Amino acid sequence: MDKIRFFRNCEELSIYAFHKIMEKSDYSYLVRGWDEYSEIKFDREEAVKIWGGIYNEYSKLTSNNKIIRFYALTKKLIYLETRKEIGGRLLSQLILREMDKETFGEYVQALKDWGFPYSKKERNLDELEKMSRLLRAADNEIAITKEKIKDMREVSEEIPFEKQVVKLEQALGRNSVNPRETSVKKWVYMMQEISEINEQRRLQAQKNKR
């Protein structure tokens, strides 16, 4: 694959890829032409930004506030994990490297920018230990956020995706709905059509009882 190109919206991304990203948090599914097996390198920061836009578009299409809360949690998790990783690298450099005062100050400022306040202007064992405690606390916050996301996923995935496909086929009277070729946007519209059909049937049933 010469050049990485991403699916960028709900009209381009398949509902299959959408659910795989939801299930695995694997942004490789955003890459056009990916075979799901080979390892590929891509700009993860760009992919996360694109996914955020797609998820926000999906939440608007479905008018689902719960989805918006889920997206907010996933954004928070990405930030926390990035913060922990970068903070850990910066702290390791402070501990292991000999550096002049100016370089040391740059590292300290970078730690502060990521929410790890280092109050000394030189290497200090008490401050380094405090940084280590903050990093451990960051691990706890990551674990808590992951658990919240897991709980929301379990609730939202009470019906397996494959079963949703079968129910969709039955409701619309279609022999086959290929989730790999069905865009997220089209999937949402088909689900809305089912809701409308069910509402019409409900109203007709009430009318017939009169």
| DSSP codes of every residue in 107-173 | HHHHHHHTT-----SS--HHHHHHHHHHHHHHHHHHHHHHHHHHHHHHHHTSS-HHHHHHHHHHHHT
pLDDT at res. 64: 66
If 0-12 CB within 10 Å is exposed, 13-18 middle and 19+ buried, where does residue 184 land? buried
Note the pLDDT tens digit of each residue in 156-167: 555 678 888 888
**Cα–Cα distance list, 129 to 81, 89, 133, 134, 183 (Å):** 20, 15, 6, 9, 50
pTM score of the predicted model: 0.59
pLDDT at res. 49: 87
SS3 177: coil
For residues 117 and 185, what is the distance between their CA atoms, to the nearest angstrom? 44
Query: Which residue stretches of the chain have pLDDT < 70?
Result: 1-2, 64-65, 67-68, 71, 153-159, 209-210
CB 104 within 8 A of CB 123: yes
CB 82 within 8 A of CB 110: no
